[in-house]
Structure 1
Amino acid sequence: MPKLKTHRAAAKRYKVTASGKIMKRQAGIGHLLQHKSASRKRRIFKMVGVSESHVALVSKELPYKKYSR
């Protein structure tokens, strides 16, 4: 079997924690921040876990990252 290639865009967007969860940044923090409340901005600046329905898709793009299902 040949080596699998890591999808480089996915490697930059997703991080795997020590416990094996796949984390991503939330959408909506790129621009137009002046009308959003401070509490909303604090909430969306944090990393969140990838939904269960997307874990299999993301894990195929990151073949050498250790993750738990």
Structure 2
Amino acid sequence: MPKLKTNRSAAKRFRKTGSGKIRRRKAYKNHLLNHKSSERKYRRLSQLSLVDKRDEENVRLMLPYM
């Protein structure tokens, strides 16, 4: 069986937790930050969150050796 290629952009965006779930960074924290409140930017958007179960299969296909 040939080796599988890892999607390099996905490898930079996702990490695995100890229990095997996939973590991701939250969106909307790159630019246009002036009108967003500090609470939204630093408390909510800075936290990592889990990838939804429906999307997890696609992420695992992109990262076969994760």
* Length-normalised TM-score, structure 2: 0.91
Matched, 1:49 2:35: no
What is the count of residue pairs matched by the alignment? Answer: 65
**Where does the alignment leave 5 or more consecutive residues of structure 2 unmatched?**
none
Moved segments of 4+, more than 3 Å: none
Q: 1:44 and 1:52 mapped to 2: Cα distance?
A: 20
Pairs within 5 Å for 1:4-15: 4-15=4-15
Give per-residue Cα distances to partners, 1:7-37, cap 9 Å, x unaligned: 1110001111111110111110001112111
Q: 1:33 and 1:40 mapped to 2: Cα distance?
A: 10
Pairs within 5 Å for 1:1-69: 1-41=1-41, 42-65=43-66
Residue aligned with 2:20, SS: coil
**Where does the alignment leave 5 or more consecutive residues of structure 1 unmatched?**
none
Structure 1 residue 39 displacement after superposition: 1.3
Identity %: 51
* Length-normalised TM-score, structure 1: 0.87
Q: CA RMSD in A?
A: 0.8
